[in-house]
Amino acid sequence: MDKKGRGVRQATGKSPIAAPPRVAVQGRSKAEHHDDSTSTKSTKSTIDGTGSEEEGESDVKDERIAYLEKELATMEDEFQRELTQLSHKSTNESETAVFWQQKHSALNQTFLKADTDLRLLRQDLYSFQQDSDKRDCDIKTRISSLMLDRDAFREAYSEACADIKAKDDLIKMLQGQVWGLKSFVSTSSKMDEQIADEAFGEQMQRLGNSTQNWVITNFRKAKLNLDKANSDTKENLLHLVPTYDTLATISKIHLIQAIVSRLLLNTIFEEYFVGLPRSRATELRDIEKYLRSFGSTESTNQWRSTTLALIRKEATSKLATETSAVTEFVIKTVNDITSSISNITPSDVGDESLRAIVTSSIELSRLLRVQKAVLTVIMPVIEGYQRTMFDAKTMEDIGGEDEETLFEREIRCVTFPGIIKAGDENGEKVHLRNVVLKMTVLCAPD
């Protein structure tokens, strides 16, 4: 019977769980019915057995059928139970799948939102970085600009301080000159009033100090280069200071001071009366010479003093144009020479200081000319081919050396002229000589 049961399972090819129980029973019944038919046919074809044997076989079959039906019922119960369990599991799995699908959808939405936010944040970060880089670039550019402005302001501040100092020095110098001019004007307000030698010496000394200060202020850092000077400049230098080429290698300050002093002497102090047209000055000079042939020197000196004092009273207004022309000529000549031989360019501050010096020189020269005594400004020319020795009576060393050590010392140049007076305050006793102010010289080293 077991072999027949296994044969039925193999014929159907399905397990009891896979095939419905009733189908399995039907299959088994047909198989058993086929076996019974075959057995019956076989029995009929053979010799009939005994009745007891048939009954025994029928009982066995009934038992087998009962057993199979019991097994079938058991299998149906198990199959139903398993099917119910699988149904419950399928329902649970379906609910779980729905839950996780919903969860996945929610997470996917969250992911998409987070991804969108991340993209927006990246765009914002990129924009912020670009703005930051641009801002940093602008800041660096601004800092560089501010540093350049700071350096420019510092340079301008330094230049302003230097200009202020120069102007303060100029103001002090002009105040001193104004004070001197006021003192001279107050002492010479009357036409016939004569001025003491000490006043002239003081005024001339102040003029020399102003000239020296002007040269030092404007040319202490100058570098001389005579090679770049043109032929006209060299000819002018040779006329003013014949030993200029030697002095340029020894002392540039003394050379420039000698040039300015010689130019003041030639243009102002050697003129008959500064500001007069040349033809008028020549006429007055000729008349003075002519009068000397008729009268004494004292009378001629008094005539000259009275005549020029009359002109001097109105010189400020009536000779303003000619006086201004002389002043500008001196300034232009000095600037042309110094700019041709040095690396210094003229400046407005320097021109104003030099203009004040020239104006003071003109006033002093006019005042010298209206004196009854003959006051002469002296400044000998130093030639290279001759030796000029130091004279303690009319000279003083610019370095302040003792006169005894300067005996028979050769001089290099005259840096500022002196004044010699002939006669007394009334123009008489012309044989008397008095050194009002010694000229300043540069001596050669011992």
Specify the pLDDT at position 33.
46
Per the CB < 8 A criterion, the answer to whether 432 and 424 are in contact is: yes
Is the pLDDT confidence value at 399 over 70? yes
Instruction: Tally the domains of the chain.
Output: 2
The pLDDT value recorded for residue 172 is: 80
CA distance 268 to 330: 9
Q: Report, as an integer, the average pLDDT of 367-394.
A: 90
Quick: pLDDT tens for 121-174: 999 999 898 988 888 898 999 898 899 988 888 889 988 998 898 888 888 877
Range scoring the smallest mean pLDDT among 11-20, 40-49, 95-104, 161-170 = 11-20
Residue 13: band (very low, low, confident or very high) from pLDDT cuts 50, 70, 90? very low
Q: How many CB atoms lie within 10 A of CB 314?
A: 9
- Specify whether the CB–CB gap between 385 and 410 falls below 8 A: no
- Indicate whether 114 pLDDT > 50: yes
**Is 166 a member of any domain?**
no
Q: Are residues 297 and 425 in the same domain?
A: yes
Classified as helix, coil or strand, 378 is strand
pLDDT at 5 (0 to 100)? 43
Q: How confident is the model at residue 360 (pLDDT cuts 50, 70, 90)?
A: very high
Phi-psi region at 194: left, alpha or beta (left = phi > 0; alpha = psi -120 to 50): beta
Q: Judge contact between 419 and 436, C-beta under 8 A.
A: yes
In a domain, 153, yes or no: no
In a domain, 179, yes or no: no
Structural domain boundaries, residue 70: 2-91
Say which residues have a Cβ less than 8 Å from residue 428's Cβ, sequence separation at least 6. 298
pLDDT greater than 70 at residue 24: no
Q: What is the largest CA-CA distance in the chain?
A: 217
Q: What pLDDT score was predicted for residue 385?
A: 81
Q: Are residues 192 and 339 in the same domain?
A: yes
Chosen domain end from 91, 108, 143 = 91
* Confidence category of residue 51, pLDDT binned at 50, 70, 90: low
Considering only 228-232, 400-404, 433-437, which range has the smallest mean pLDDT?
400-404
Q: What is the pLDDT of residue 28?
A: 45
pLDDT score recorded for residue 183: 58
| pLDDT greater than 80 at residue 3 | no
pLDDT on residue 123: 92
pLDDT digits (tens, 9 = 90+) for 270-283: 999 999 999 999 99
As a whole-number percent, the residues of the chain with pLDDT over 90 amount to 49
- For residue 441, list its beta bridge partners: 397, 414
Q: In sequence order, what are the beta bridge partners of 435?
A: 420
Query: Is 343 a member of any domain?
Result: yes
How sure is the predictor about 50, in pLDDT bands with cuts at 50, 70 and 90?
Answer: low
Look up residue 117 and give its two tokens. Answer: 């936010």
User: Does the pLDDT at position 192 exceed 60?
Assistant: no
Residue 46 gets which letter from DSSP?
S
Residue 18: pLDDT above 70? no
Q: Which residue has the higher pLDDT, 366 or 296?
A: 366
- 410 vs 170: which has the higher pLDDT: 410
The residue out of 75, 91, 107 marking a domain boundary is 91
More confident residue, 260 or 4: 260
* CA-closest candidate to residue 172, choices 324, 356, 362: 356
Rounded CA-CA distance 364/362 in Å is 5
Q: Which of 91, 106, 129 is the last residue of a domain?
A: 91
Task: With respect to residue 376, please indicate whether it lies within any of the assigned structural domains.
Answer: yes
CA distances to 187, 199, 267, 334 from 180, in Å? 11, 9, 22, 25
Please tell me the predicted confidence (pLDDT) of residue 186.
Answer: 54
Mean of pLDDT over the chain:
83
Q: Is residue 168 a part of any domain in this protein?
A: no
Cα–Cα distance between 216 and 101 in angstroms, integer? 101
Is residue 154 in some structural domain? no
Is there a domain that residue 208 lies in? yes
Tokens of 406: 């300067």
- The amino acid sitting at 349 is V
Assign 433 to helix, strand or coil: strand
- Residue 306 to residue 372: CA distance in whole angstroms: 8
pLDDT band of 21, cuts 50, 70, 90: very low
DSSP 233-269: HHHHHHHH-TTHHHHHHH-HHHHHHHHHHHHHIIIII
pTM (two decimals): 0.58
Q: In Å, how far are 106, 107, 110, 260, 346 from 119, measured between CA atoms?
A: 20, 18, 14, 83, 70
CB 388 within 8 A of CB 406: no
For range 174-193, the mean pLDDT? 59
Torsion, CA 33, CA 38, CA 40, CA 45, rounded to 10: 170
> Any idea what DSSP says for residue 110?
H
Q: Which of the four pLDDT bands, split at 50, 70 and 90, describes residue 4?
A: very low
Residues 77 and 211 in one domain: no
Residues 278 and 418 placed together within one structural domain of the fold: yes
270 in helix, strand or coil?
coil
- Please spell the DSSP secondary structure of 67-98, one letter per residue: HHHHHHHHHHHHHHHHHHHHHHHHHHHHHHHH
Spatial distance between the Cα atoms of 380 and 389, rounded to a whole number of angstroms: 11
Residue 362 and residue 236 share a domain:
yes
Position 287 scores a pLDDT of 92
Q: Report the C-alpha gap between 130 and 372 in whole angstroms.
A: 91
Query: Within 13 Å and on the Cβ side, how many CA atoms surround 79?
Result: 15
Three-state SS string across 182-237, please? HHHHHHCCCCCCCCCHHHHHHHHHHHHHHHHHHHHHHHCCCCECHHHCCHHHHHHH
